[in-house]
Amino acid sequence: MSSSTRSAPPDLASSGSSTPPRLAAVPLISHQYRTVCVWILDKRALLEARVRAGLSKAAEDSFFDIIRADTSRLVRLRHPGVVHVIQALDENKNAMAMVTEPSFEEWEMGLLEVKHGLLQIAESLDFLHNNACLIHRGISLEAVLINLSGAWKLGGFGFAISADKSSTDPSTVQPFHYSEYDVEDSLLPLQPSLNYTAPELIRTKAPSFGRFPDIFSFACLAYHLIAKKSLFDCHNNVKMYMNKLTYLSSEAFSSIPPELVTDLKRMLSPNEALRPSALDFTDKGLKQETIACQNILCSPVVQLLYFIRSMSMIAVKTVLPPLCAEVRNMVMQPMILPMVLKIADSQDKVDFETSTLPALVPVLSTAAGETLLLLVKHAELVVNKASQEHLVSHVLPMLVRAYDDTDVRMQEEVLKKTVSLATKLDPQLVKQLILPRVHGLALKTTVAAVRVNALLCFGDMIMVLDKPAILEILQTIQRCTAVDHSAPTLMCTLGVANSILKKELSQHSLSSLIPLSASLLGTLPKHDDPMT
């Protein structure tokens, strides 16, 4: 089967199946989206797999019917919480294809983001039950997708039915049939995952159930996302499933936040009438804690700080714009700037230059004190992602201010970042703006750590400097060792001399530098300690 770096939509992949039918996602350009996903199912490959598995042609046809039902409902449902179809299902004898907004299934996320996402799914379920009059019947981990902006979307409508139909004529709603012993996942998933299915859907005679099966499945989904494991891991064995449901213990909820346990247990009740609505659950257990996500920059500082510390990299597309908008806020800056820099570390150069750097430019130009120190510590991040123009216009002036700062911590940090910047700049700029300041720190400081870092900086820069610049470094080193005979300074001096000899040997031009290097080494004081 063809596969993709993007996960297949749940309606075309068996829940938990190791070898389900897969769709190949092809990025395209559209008017509404910069990229889209084209999901393609190869019928010929599926036929070959079905024959090898010994499955019937009727099973294959039923599977295609599930796909058609799913895509048909997705096209008709217009809601922010439902996967957006850009082009409806196109089918011929060899393949099926559908175009949707870009979306993913597998993201790492923290508890706060899970709660925020569950709130979105609950709102989508409320829309299905009360407006679209649909019962989803396939809510599972695979039915939830997340788009590029971090919004949670509901898909997998292949098993959905009309709520009105299930209430007025229960006989038309057939129960699902699961095995009473452990079985492997099917190549053709013709029923929802048993790990998420409500018990009334697997009884011999299905009663009138309305929205209640979705509430049960939603609780299983919430449990899985919060506890990081399935509540009913039953290997498609209905007896094991019913046994776990009957003897569900409090210990099973030990990894669930206490404020959610009571309502989750109600949602999992075998008695459908006891289950609350999805919004009842979120109103009590989720909505208050996710307000920081929805109104991040309108929240009190304490809430915002909690949000920043709790979120993982999954929500960067959602939170980065408002964070960047407030990065110049002097009150919020100590909390916001570290988060922006953390997010920037995960971006590629294009994303960084288009979304993050414009917000950082004013800060780079005016930063001082602790803010400047923070930026210098993360200077390599900016240096590696910014263009040459931005390096010269914004990063270099910031580091020049750091060289001239009297804070010893600042001096040490900027010296450590010098080489990464110098290798990306024009040599003339390095000679004019950077080297004189490194010379000044090496000669004027009274702090050993600053002098050592300056000498280490010289040694690392030798390979990118010309002969006059190297001669100036040798002269500075001579002046340093004339007044500082400490072991760290002498060892760094030997390191610089070694770097010079390596460069000159590689260039076969020793005549002018070796005498000066030898003179320098001859002036070093002799110590009994072999390390010096």
* Predicted pLDDT at 22: 43
- Return the bridge partners of 42, or none: 95
Q: Are 323 and 343 in contact (CB under 8 A)?
A: yes
Residue 161 has φ and ψ, to the nearest 5°, of -135, 165
DSSP 250-297: GGGGTTS-HHHHHHHHHHT-SSGGGPPPHHHHHHHHTTTTTHHHHTGG
Q: What's the mean pLDDT in 83-100?
A: 89
3-class state of residue 326 by DSSP: coil
Sign, Cα dihedral of 297, 146, 88, 174: negative
* Predicted pLDDT at 106: 62
Q: Does pLDDT of 492 surpass 90?
A: no
* Predicted pLDDT at 139: 92
3-class state of residue 338 by DSSP: helix
Q: Does pLDDT of 96 surpass 80?
A: yes
* Predicted pLDDT at 125: 92
Which of 280, 39, 313, 51 lies closest to 156 in space, CA to CA? 39
Q: Does pLDDT of 9 surpass 90?
A: no
Residue 114, token pair as written in the block: 């899970």
Higher-pLDDT residue of 18, 164: 164
- Return the bridge partners of 87, or none: 99
Q: Does pLDDT of 71 surpass 80?
A: yes
Residue 380, token pair as written in the block: 């390599």
Q: What's the mean pLDDT in 486-506?
A: 77
Residue 121, token pair as written in the block: 């799914």
* Predicted pLDDT at 515: 53
Q: What's the mean pLDDT in 282-305?
A: 50
Lowest-confidence region among 1-10, 316-325, 422-431: 1-10
Q: What's the mean pLDDT in 64-70?
A: 91
* Predicted pLDDT at 223: 92
* Predicted pLDDT at 202: 82
* Predicted pLDDT at 219: 92
Q: What's the mean pLDDT in 273-287?
A: 72
* pLDDT bracket for residue 27 (50, 70, 90): very low
Q: Supply the DSSP symbol for 134.
A: E
* Predicted pLDDT at 252: 87
Residue 52, token pair as written in the block: 């090898």
* pLDDT bracket for residue 82 (50, 70, 90): very high
Helix ranges restricted to H, 295-432: 301-310, 316-325, 333-345, 349-351, 357-366, 369-377, 379-385, 388-390, 396-404, 408-422, 427-429
Sequence-ordered list of residues with C-beta below 8 angstroms from that of 263, at least 6 positions apart, any chain: 276, 280, 281, 284, 285
* Predicted pLDDT at 221: 94
* Predicted pLDDT at 344: 81
* Predicted pLDDT at 216: 93
Sequence-ordered list of residues with C-beta below 8 angstroms from that of 256, at least 6 positions apart, any chain: 223, 226, 227, 264
* Predicted pLDDT at 220: 93
Site of tokens 């005979």: 485
Computed over every residue of the chain, the mean pLDDT equals 77
* pLDDT bracket for residue 305 (50, 70, 90): very low
* Predicted pLDDT at 157: 92
* Predicted pLDDT at 384: 85
* Predicted pLDDT at 168: 53
- Return the bridge partners of 135, or none: 161
Q: What's the mean pLDDT in 71-85?
A: 90
* pLDDT bracket for residue 532 (50, 70, 90): very low
Give the rounded percent of residues in the chain with a pLDDT score beyond 90. Answer: 7
Q: Does pLDDT of 297 surpass 80?
A: no
* Predicted pLDDT at 318: 63
Q: What is the pLDDT of residues 318-335, one digit of tens each?
A: 667 777 777 777 777 777
Query: How far is it, in rounded angstroms, from Cα 308 to Cα 340?
Result: 10
Query: How far is it, in rounded angstroms, from Cα 386 to Cα 133?
Result: 51
Q: What is the pLDDT of residues 195-252, one digit of tens each?
A: 898 888 886 555 556 788 999 999 999 999 998 889 988 887 888 888 888 888 888 8
Taking the model in full, what pTM does it have? 0.57
